[in-house]
Amino acid sequence: MLEIKGLCKCYNGESILDNFEMQVGKGQIFGMIGANGTGKSTVIKILAGLINPDQGRILMDGAPFLSNVNTMKRMVGYIPDNFGIYENLTVKEYMEFFSASYGLRGLKGRDRWETLLEWVGMTEHKDDFLEHLSRGMKQRICLARVLIHDPQLILVDEPVAGMDPVTRSVVKEILKKLKEEEKIIVVSSHVLTEMTDLCTHIGIMDKGQMLIQGEQSEVFRRINMSNPLHIIVLEGQDQAVALLKRDASVQSISMEGGHIAIQFDGDEQDESNLLSTLIGYGIRIQAFYREPGSLESLFMEVTKERAGES
């Protein structure tokens, strides 16, 4: 379990992180979501040991994480938004260099980097010079290099930025494979559509703070309860409207043909009771559902609420 408590960071007197809190468990892909400038990359760089926080605590399985830099860095695999490539090396030489940097030499090191090249679909290019590879291929080599020492914490900054479709698919599949290996994976991005498919857990950031976090389905459920409830009636629309007007949880009603949309403040049990009541009065219901949300609408809803509180 990775825990971040009360993390603060300022640059030139400007607060970037303000009492930031986050928890990520093993086997989770946690997506930090927020607009540019909300502090996502700062969190990633602190976890990677590149910058120090001004205050706060970071714990890994209950133990201080930043106290021993060498131990910490052996636990971390960091994939930056701009990858570093030594273009005068072949792919094989590049992977051998980083294997040796982590003490993996000889057959053990070769087995490791060959496995990783197979993972990223680059085995047939191992004798190619890096300068001759496409951007997507370089991104895949960078991913293989980051995993060479089998890190427990994987940090990914803007994982799909500028990626071609093949590389994007490869990265997603590898992150899901690492999840199955019980790694802790933290991803930061402002490309919300990609995060929905990739992450098991999400946290929405704004102005250096974590506004809401948790399992993706649970976070959506909590927010989507404010979305309209749609009822499509085949017969008995007038009676349905009359019944809805009596329900204290119904705040507003709009109609178009047999389609009724209501603002409903009740929970899932209240929805079930409402549906049972309508059916009990003989009203023929074709559809009864909450309007689905998206990560974009969720982000806008949460940040709008914060702006309103301010």
Q: Residues 17, 157: one domain?
A: yes
pLDDT value for 108: 93
In a domain, 301, yes or no: no
In a domain, 296, yes or no: no
At 50-66, the pLDDT tens digits run: 999 999 999 999 999 88
Q: Residues 60, 159: one domain?
A: yes
pTM over 0.75? The answer is yes
Q: Which domain holds residue 88?
A: 2-215
Q: Residues 124, 244: one domain?
A: no
Cβ neighbors of 103 (< 8 A, separation 6 or more) are none
Output the domain CATH number for residue 253: 3.30.70.100
Give CA–CA dist 23/8, Å, rounded: 16
Measured CA distances, 133 to 46, 69, 82, 88 (Å): 31, 34, 16, 12
Helix (H) or strand (E) holding 24: strand 14-24
At 73-111, the pLDDT tens digits run: 889 999 887 666 788 899 999 999 999 999 998 999 999
Q: Residues 45, 160: one domain?
A: yes
Confidence of residue 302 (pLDDT cuts 50, 70, 90): low
pLDDT value for 126: 94
In a domain, 66, yes or no: yes
Q: Do the Cβ atoms of 173 and 121 come closer than 8 Å?
A: no
Q: Residues 92, 239: one domain?
A: no
Of the two residues 247 and 167, the one the predictor is more confident about is 247
Q: Do the Cβ atoms of 131 and 87 come closer than 8 Å?
A: yes
Matching residue, tokens 């992450």 = 199
Whether residue 307 is predicted with pLDDT greater than 60 in this model: the reply is no
Give CA–CA dist 33/35, Å, rounded: 7
Q: Residues 202, 287: one domain?
A: no
Long-range contacts of 177-181 (CB under 8 A, 24+ apart): 177/119, 178/147, 178/154, 179/27, 179/28, 179/29, 180/27
In a domain, 247, yes or no: yes
pLDDT value for 310: 47
In a domain, 306, yes or no: no
Q: Residues 171, 236: one domain?
A: no
Q: Residues 141, 168: one domain?
A: yes
**What would the mean pLDDT of 119-125 be, rounded to a whole number?**
93
Domain tally for the chain? 2
Give CA–CA dist 288/240, Å, rounded: 12
At 194-225, the pLDDT tens digits run: 777 788 999 988 889 998 899 988 887 776 66
Cβ neighbors of 272 (< 8 A, separation 6 or more) are none
Q: Residues 264, 160: one domain?
A: no
Give CA–CA dist 64/55, Å, rounded: 13
**What would the mean pLDDT of 296-305 be, rounded to a whole number?**
64
In a domain, 303, yes or no: no
Q: Residues 34, 160: one domain?
A: yes
Q: Residues 185, 262: one domain?
A: no
**What would the mean pLDDT of 133-143 be, rounded to a whole number?**
87
Q: Residues 8, 133: one domain?
A: yes
Whether residue 118 is predicted with pLDDT greater than 90 in this model: the reply is yes
In a domain, 305, yes or no: no
Measured CA distances, 60 to 4, 51, 185 (Å): 9, 18, 13
**What would the mean pLDDT of 267-275 be, rounded to a whole number?**
90
